[in-house]
A and B are shown apart, each in its own frame.
Chain A
Amino acid sequence: MSTGSAISSPDIVPQAAPLLAARGLTKRFGSFVANDRVDVGFARGEIHALLGENGAGKSTLVKMLYGLLSPSEGEILWQGAPIALANPKAARALGVGMVFQHFSLFENLTVAENIALALPKSERLERVPARIAEISRAYGFALEPDRPVYSLSAGERQRIEIARCLLQDPKVLILDEPTSVLTPQEAERLFETLETLRGEGRALLYISHHLEEVKRLCDRATILRLGKVVATCDPRAETARSLAALMVGAQIKEVRGAGAHGLGEPRLVVAALSAPSPSLHGVSLKRVSLEVRGGEVLGVAGVAGNGQSELFAYLSGELIAGRAEAILIDGEPVGDVGVTGRRALKAAFVPEDRLGHAAAPDFTLSENIVLTGHGASGMTHAGFIDAKKALDKANEVVATFDVRKSGADPLARTLSGGNLQKFVVGREILSKPGLFVVNQPTWGVDALASAAIRQALLDLSARGVAVLVISQDLDELFEISDRIAVIHAGRLSEPREARETTREAVGLMMAGMDEGDHAH
């Protein structure tokens, strides 16, 4: 199956004619080349990984293969013959299916109704449950046709998307970052399904930047960097580090531990915080209690949509819990205090969403300094903003955290995801906080920037800052946390020492099963 040698030249043609192939495929957006003469082929019965950093051109490539974008140059070949894909409908008719990273499901409809929507009009709704049962049996995943989607976990939602694709019997199935929302156990079940599909002779295209799972699952890997294919290899013959080096084009520095340092006083104490979610299908917090001491990193793991954004909003003061004693910052009750008041107590916050939440997209970097810095001394005088001070601060953040930008003071939205994330994290770090709360610190951030951000968080804790990290990335949490707690359905588990627990144990808790304490 594999090509044997570790890395072969990218233009090597796989045995027999591939089912779907790209030849010299190029996509330009203005002067920017998102895909540069990409040659790649996907054969029957293989799981082919598409690896690359954010912005390497993976999405652009699969969007062309799925008819969502039209190439600027080059050809797409179906069983060796050039074809034109005008739209996704044409791709589906040919036998190409795609499971997107972000689900397009109607929350208030049932599983069967959501699936029926994707079927031709001639299909009858009454027959859909039978077909779902058929698919569930064949691929070993459970789907209850009558459950409304809002009551489902991310893993179950993904199964709907996959079932929707499989009902059309695709020969090529594209999966975009399918495990990013799954617990390790759910991911394992997904892999079993994918292996069944491979056994049926389908070609699977698997986009990911999780190297370990690519090594575990995939037969071949094509690595993209800056829009070009830089290597095609057998991932099993590679190490995670060598794959990462190919993706990044440079060695990634290993994060240094914070080193031995004593823990200080509790700087953040949350006591039995119960609070509703502001959104309709949101998750309300149920008696959340936690404590973060100075010099400590507390990680909060969990599958997306289990109350993380609510927890962050109540901690930052964007939502007010009401009861003052529910949240203490350095001993000060702040449950009824807004975000500016909490910042005055040297607390700093970095929300999950860079654009539109942590930063205003159409404001310049120096204006975005004012966003969270307006309460700091010297930033305003009698209601007037000190623009020079804000610009100096922006330049300090840019220099300290190696933020790449164009122009002296560009708009926030012109920065790449990783650079903007470094900017917003850096902005808060330079405010010299005593408490640092961050939600998804490296979501959608390239490997180099991720490493820099994790290092910055560890450096903070070494200086005696209490750091609370909410993340879905277990690798990240195990890398930097002293203790890890799990949030599930709005409840927070008792934190455990990171060194004394395992990914599996945390994974089970993420799925709502608490192993160990009670027998089931």
Chain B
Amino acid sequence: MRIDLVARPQRSRLIEIAAPVAAMAVAILIGGVVVALVGRSPLTAFDVYFIEPLTQSYSLQAIAVKATPLVLIATGLIFCYRANFWNIGAEGQFVAGGALGGWLGLVTHDGALQGAIGGWWILPAMMVLGAIGGALYALIPALLRVRLNVSEILTSLMLVYVAQLALDWLVRGPWKDPEGHNLPVSVNFDPAASLPLLVDGGSLHLGVLFVPLAVALAAVVFSKTLFGYSVRLAGSAPRAARFGGFDDRAIAIAAFMISGALAGLAGVVEVSGKIGQLLPSISPGYGFSAIIVAFLGRLSPVGVLVAGLVLALTFVGGEDAQIAMHLPGDLTLAFQGVLLACVLAADVLARYRLLVSWGWGARS
């Protein structure tokens, strides 16, 4: 028997949409088997993971708040991945943005610098600083790649640890709350430095509005503009891009900086809208989960929005399952890994047909 992958002549809309849905279904089946092997009911687990969180206001809010950093980061990652640059350091860019934006929240603590003009400028400035912090941090692997041909995979990943440790040191050292009983936390942000809540007593904050904005902008850039075209082209056919007259270095730097800016924005939204202060660690790995979101969303902005919500659902459902069914929290991460593997496999099947030939030569 011999299996060949034959390219499909035309991309079919139906398959484009069906592939990630099928991948999701297969991943859920595999997850169900694992749950059954642990000795719990797969049906109950399915209910706790995927149904119950959708029935409660608080968990719906939690899903939206969780999805916010995932979708923002993944939207940026699309620019890198479409251009064939493997930025896997969004986690570090998230931390860099959160730290730089959060810094403004710390220096304006207790009304400082707010005197005559008031504090209205603080939140917008924090958001801008967050984006700048992430963009500059992403510029490092971009320049190393473009100037010295250093693998951006290694540099962007390793810079994650640098950013994490730097924030850890800052929060334990210079940025520590002097009245915080020596706990490694900063002071709490003033209201002027905190994103306001949208629901009284809930968790939904103003930062979630960045999500539709970023997704819509990215969708327009990719489908309508010459810049979006050049990013797709550089990744899909680099020689053709050079022949077309597009500067691959400029594209690399732009893609990294957009990606970093969105990750940094997500970081400052997280500290200002959700955490309310700086902590030694401000992310449970959003920057890495966003890689799954980007691929689950087939590297399209709208797809990423859907995928981010799905993944946020598994996070929230996973927390519920820990409480209700005493399932280990690592199961959520394992499930996300299975999901990514299924999505990548489905992606291949969407682009190629499997051709199984049985002939008399069928001995090789």
Contact = CB atoms under 8 A, between A and B. Distances in A.
Contact of A84 (B10, B224, B232, B361): B361
Contact of A411 (B2, B11, B241): B11
Most chain A beta-carbon neighbours within 10 Å: one of B225, B245, B359: B245
Contacts of A371: 233, 240, 243-244
A2 B195 CA distance: 90
A385 interface: yes
A11 B6 CA distance: 33
A77 to B, nearest CB: 14
Interface string B1-13: 0100011011100
Interface stretch (A352-360, A395-403, A512-520): A352-360
Given A29-B355, A380-B226, A410-B10, A357 B361 contact: no
A367 B229 contact: yes
Contact of B10 (A351, A363, A411): A411
A171 interface: no
Contacts of B242: 318, 339
Contacts of B225: 383-385
Contacts of A372: 243-245
A360 B240 contact: yes
Contacts of A353: 239
Contact of B243 (A30, A339, A383, A411): A339
A340 to B, nearest CB: 3
Nearest to A367: B229
Interface residues of B, number: 31
A317 B247 CA distance: 12
Contacts of B360: 70-71, 84
A338 interface: yes
B271 to A, nearest CB: 34
A371 B243 CA distance: 8
B237 interface: yes
Given A86-B364, A362-B236, A385 B355 contact: no
B224 A385 contact: yes
Given A385-B226, A406-B9, A357 B363 contact: no
Given A385-B224, A385-B225, A407-B10, A70 B245 contact: no
How many chain A residues sit at the interface, stated as a range, is 35 or more
A370 interface: yes
Given A70-B361, A338-B245, A358 B240 contact: yes
Contacts of A414: 9-10
B328 to A, nearest CB: 42
Interface string B321-362: 000000000000000000000000000000001010101111
Given A361-B237, A406-B9, A410-B10, A316 B243 contact: yes
A357 B10 contact: no
A316 B242 CA distance: 11
A145 to B, nearest CB: 34
A407 B11 CA distance: 11
B203 to A, nearest CB: 38
B227 interface: yes
Contacts of A357: 237, 239-240, 243
A343 B229 CA distance: 19
Contacts of B9: 406, 410-411, 414
B244 A363 contact: no
Nearest to A319: B242
A385 B229 contact: yes
A96 to B, nearest CB: 15
A87 interface: yes
Contact of A363 (B226, B227, B233): B233
A407 B360 CA distance: 36
Most chain A beta-carbon neighbours within 10 Å: one of B7, B11, B360: B360
A317 B244 CA distance: 10
A287 interface: no
A407 B8 CA distance: 14
Contacts of B359: 70-72
A326 B243 CA distance: 20
Contacts of A317: 245
Contacts of B229: 367, 370, 374, 385
A389 to B, nearest CB: 13
Contacts of B224: 384-385, 387
Interface in B256-279: none
A256 B81 CA distance: 49
A30 B5 CA distance: 11
A23 interface: no
Contact of B245 (A72, A339, A360, A362): A339
A433 to B, nearest CB: 15
Contacts of B240: 356-360, 371
Interface in B11-44: 11
A109 B358 CA distance: 39
A70 B362 CA distance: 8
Contacts of B237: 356-357, 359-363
A38 B11 CA distance: 33
A318 B227 CA distance: 19
B167 to A, nearest CB: 37
A375 interface: yes
A30 B360 CA distance: 17
Given A30-B355, A411-B10, A374 B236 contact: no
B152 to A, nearest CB: 21
A452 B140 CA distance: 51
A427 B361 CA distance: 45
A85 interface: yes
A454 interface: no
B41 to A, nearest CB: 44
A365 B220 CA distance: 21
B7 A413 contact: yes
B359 to A, nearest CB: 4
Contacts of A356: 237, 239-240
A249 B359 CA distance: 32
A362 B6 CA distance: 15
Contacts of A338: 245
A266 B237 CA distance: 34
A340 B361 CA distance: 52
Contacts of B2: 70
A384 B355 CA distance: 41
A29 B2 CA distance: 13
Contacts of B239: 353, 356-357
Interface of A: 29-30, 67, 70-72, 84-87, 316-318, 338-340, 343, 349, 351, 353, 356-363, 367, 370-372, 374-375, 380, 383-385, 387, 406-407, 410-411, 413-414
Given A70-B364, A85-B361, A357-B237, 12 more contacts: A29-B355, A71-B359, A84-B363, A340-B245, A353-B239, A360-B240, A361-B236, A363-B236, A363-B237, A371-B233, A371-B243, A372-B243
19 contacts: A29-B6, A70-B364, A71-B361, A85-B361, A87-B364, A339-B242, A339-B243, A356-B239, A357-B243, A358-B240, A359-B237, A362-B236, A370-B229, A372-B244, A385-B229, A406-B10, A407-B10, A411-B9, A414-B10
List of 7 A-B pairs having minimum Cβ-Cβ separation, nearest first:
A70-B361, A340-B245, A360-B237, A339-B245, A70-B359, A371-B244, A360-B240
